[in-house]
């Protein structure tokens, strides 16, 4: 495995960054997952994305296309698509197919307000021959539909599970949960059809919330691929620290924070 040093031009700040700080503090380490930059040389020990120089395997980087900005490259990132592959083709056991399915099945994405990986997951489920539907805030109905969701439902509605079942006529086999709290789990389990199938959560789902044996629960530790809508963060390193605090407060939804560190 070849390790290279890359000078960081832009980084994306994700909710997982502040969660790692809070739940797994390790003094002296560098946090961060998604970055974009230029190759410098075969490198020494410098890991983590939120740094001027990043040490990474060549297997985990791709060449930037001419049509992509540094900010969009950072927003494309690896953490979202890595989780995406683990969830769709690992936990849910889906198989992609180049042709349209004659009898496509429905797949639910429960997202509420955290939208980054959900947008690409909605699109990729469509590519897998499924019909994606989303439970989210009404504020993001148009965003979900722009990423090919066939239908959207209000997560705050008291009848959301019933509304989903009525729409899909009892044929929902797959559900992806990006919230993993008591409400999101119960809504996903209630929406999945009577015969059950697969449910995948981004975070750990406690056993007492898994109320149906017919539903197999799994955990994801998530030029045609579109990036999540980007907000460019100003202020360099201080902007990154402020962004982590903003994410921790829950003040960002439906957008990806990207900080540009140099004009390289």
Q: What is the tens place of the pLDDT at every residue in 184-200?
A: 999 999 998 887 788 88
In percent, the amount of the chain with pLDDT more than 90 equals 9
**Domain-located, residue 85:** no
- Answer whether 90's CB lies under 8 Å from 174's CB: no
Model pLDDT, residue 180: 84
Whole-angstrom distance, CA of residue 172 vs CA of residue 205 = 20
Mean pLDDT of 83-105: 68
pLDDT of 36 over the 80 cut: no
pLDDT of 13 over the 70 cut: no
Model pLDDT, residue 193: 83
Model pLDDT, residue 153: 95
- Res. 155 pLDDT band, cuts 50 70 90: very high
Which CATH number goes with the domain that contains 207? Answer: 3.40.50.720
Q: 104: which residues sit within 8 A by CB, 6+ positions away?
A: 129, 130, 131
**Domain-located, residue 22:** yes
Which 8-state DSSP code applies to residue 226? P
**Domain-located, residue 9:** yes
**Domain-located, residue 91:** no
Q: Is the dihedral of CA 226, 229, 232, 233 positive or negative?
A: negative
Of 21-25, 95-99, 109-113, minimum mean pLDDT range: 95-99
Model pLDDT, residue 163: 94
Say yes or no: 108 and 215 in one domain.
Answer: yes
Model pLDDT, residue 253: 75
- Res. 167 pLDDT band, cuts 50 70 90: very high
Say yes or no: 74 and 108 in one domain.
Answer: no
Mean pLDDT of 103-119: 69
How many structural domains compose the chain?
2
Task: Kindly report the backbone phi and psi dihedral angles of residue 47, in degrees, each rounded to the nearest multiple of 5, phi listed first.
Answer: -120, 165
- Whole-model pTM above 0.95? no
Say yes or no: 144 and 162 in one domain.
Answer: yes
Mean pLDDT of 129-139: 87
Say yes or no: 215 and 232 in one domain.
Answer: no
More confident residue, 10 or 231: 231
Which CATH number goes with the domain that contains 248? Answer: 3.90.180.10
Mean pLDDT of 149-162: 92
**56-91 pLDDT, tens digit each:** 766 667 777 777 776 776 666 666 666 666 666 666
Which strands, in side-by-side order, build the sheet including 216-219?
Answer: 151-154, 131-136, 106-112, 172-177, 198-201, 216-219
pLDDT of 249 over the 50 cut: yes
Residue in 129, 135, 88 with CA at minimum distance from that of residue 115: 135
Say yes or no: 24 and 44 in one domain.
Answer: yes
- Res. 162 pLDDT band, cuts 50 70 90: very high
The range of the structural domain enclosing residue 34 comes to 3-79+227-260
Which 8-state DSSP code applies to residue 136? E
More confident residue, 122 or 105: 105
Model pLDDT, residue 224: 43
Model pLDDT, residue 222: 41
């Amino acid at each position: 495995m070849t390790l290279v040093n890359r000078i960081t031009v832009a980084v994306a700040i994700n909710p997982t960054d502040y969660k790692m700080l809070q739940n797994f503090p390790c003094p002296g380490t560098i946090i961060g997952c998604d970055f974009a930059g230029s190759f410098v040389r075969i490198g020494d020990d410098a890991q983590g994305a939120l740094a001027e120089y990043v040490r990474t395997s060549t297997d985990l980087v791709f060449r930037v296309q001419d049509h992509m900005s540094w900010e969009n490259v950072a927003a494309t990132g690896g953490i979202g698509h890595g989780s995406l592959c683990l969830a769709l083709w690992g936990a849910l056991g889906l198989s992609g197919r180049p042709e349209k399915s004659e009898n496509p099945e429905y797949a639910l994405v429960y997202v509420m307000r955290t939208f980054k990986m959900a947008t690409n997951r909605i699109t990729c489920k469509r590519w897998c021959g499924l019909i994606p539907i989303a439970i989210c805030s009404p504020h993001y109905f148009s965003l979900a539909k722009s990423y090919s969701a066939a239908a959207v439902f209000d997560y705050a509605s008291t009848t959301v599970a019933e509304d989903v079942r009525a729409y899909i006529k009892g044929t929902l086999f797959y559900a992806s949960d990006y919230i993993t709290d008591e409400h999101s789990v119960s809504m996903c389990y209630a929406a999945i059809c009577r015969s059950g199938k697969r449910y995948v959560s981004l975070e750990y789902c406690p056993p007492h919330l898994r109320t149906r044996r017919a539903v197999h629960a799994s955990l994801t530790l998530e030029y045609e691929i579109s990036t999540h809508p980007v907000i460019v963060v100003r202020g360099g390193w201080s902007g990154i620290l402020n962004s982590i605090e903003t994410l921790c407060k829950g003040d960002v939804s439906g957008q990806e924070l990207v900080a540009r560190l140099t004009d390289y």
